[in-house]
Copies of this chain bind each other. A is one copy, B any other.
């Protein structure tokens, strides 16, 4: 698909959210197809989790996005999909890897949305593939349990905030869920949610550093709760941490089934997005330091620093491994 002006910011860089949406659509197609490949109850694959995703190089208006997806592991009730996105400049022929993402889907019955069906097993060419997949499966399962605890936080408005404080850049948007946002089951596509999250996180980042910003990475996102057609969703973001050249933004998605009295507003998803600030030539710019005021803000800053250092250490370990 050719990238259009509406897919990009004013500097012409395609929004990370647009890319996440394409990735999720590819993942939903391949896993729904796989889960229906054996006779049995028809089902729709619902996004359960996206692993941490790095945006390796920005995509621009007019480039073509090539998205390819492959199933790499199946457990009894879940499917792991790896999606690669390449950007292609069809004028010069240049191709670049934009990102590689790993997604987990769960098949839900078309007749009874609360019933999780069984996944037909895939064939592995080597035994190690299965073992490594199983290890990834166990890891993500643990991590999902953890985030389920953490979900209670709320973003409160601040009056007359100072520049570079948390309150100064925090933002939120509301969106009324329409039919084209939803799957056949009438629940919001995970990709639609991620696109809105990236939109809010991008506004927070731009408010903080007042320059052209692009998505650098997204931490693992767990989808604990489905969001139904007709809900109002509120997406809120606040900055949690800044390093010299990056910003970390926490984003919450709350769903409000406001015509359905049976259910209260609830937290559907939360995630951390990392942004960098770019000059007109595409070089990373220094980021103004986040001013933390309350105890909670200071604690979140330290936690963000922990995540930042951990990621940095991991990346260095990978580079050393690759260099050997």
* Chain A interfacial positions (CB closer than 8 Å to B): 1-2, 4-6, 9-10, 25-26, 28-29, 32-33, 36-37, 39, 42-44, 61-62, 64, 88, 90-93, 110, 156-157, 159, 163, 171-176, 178-180, 184, 199-200, 202-203, 206-207, 210-212, 229-230, 232, 256, 258-261
Q: What's the nearest-Cβ distance from chain B to residue A1, in Å?
A: 6
Nearest CB in chain B: distance from A275 CB, A: 13
Across the A-B interface, give the 5 residue pairs with the lowest CB-CB distance, nearest first: A157-B157, A5-B179, A5-B5, A179-B179, A10-B62
Minimal beta-carbon separation of A94 from chain B (angstroms): 10
Q: How far is the CA of A1 from the CA of B88 in the complex (A)?
A: 19
| Complex contacts, A64 vs chain B, CB 8 Å | 29, 33, 171, 203
Min Cβ gap A318→B in Å is 28
- Indicate if the CB atoms of B1 and A259 lie closer than 8 Å: no
Judge whether B92 and A42 touch: CB under 8 Å: yes
A153–B61 CA distance with the chains assembled, in angstroms? 33
Nearest-Cβ distance from residue A86 to partner chain B, whole angstroms: 13
Partner pick for A6 among B6, B88, B171, CB 8 A cutoff: B6
Across the interface, which residues of B come within 8 angstroms of A6, CB to CB? 4-6, 178-180
The CA-CA distance from A210 to B323 in the complex, in Å, is: 36
Contacting residues, chain B, for A261 (C-beta < 8 A): 36, 39, 42, 210
A229: B residues at CB distance < 8 A: 10, 184
User: Which of A4, A37, A180 is packed against the most chain B CB atoms within 10 Å?
Assistant: A4
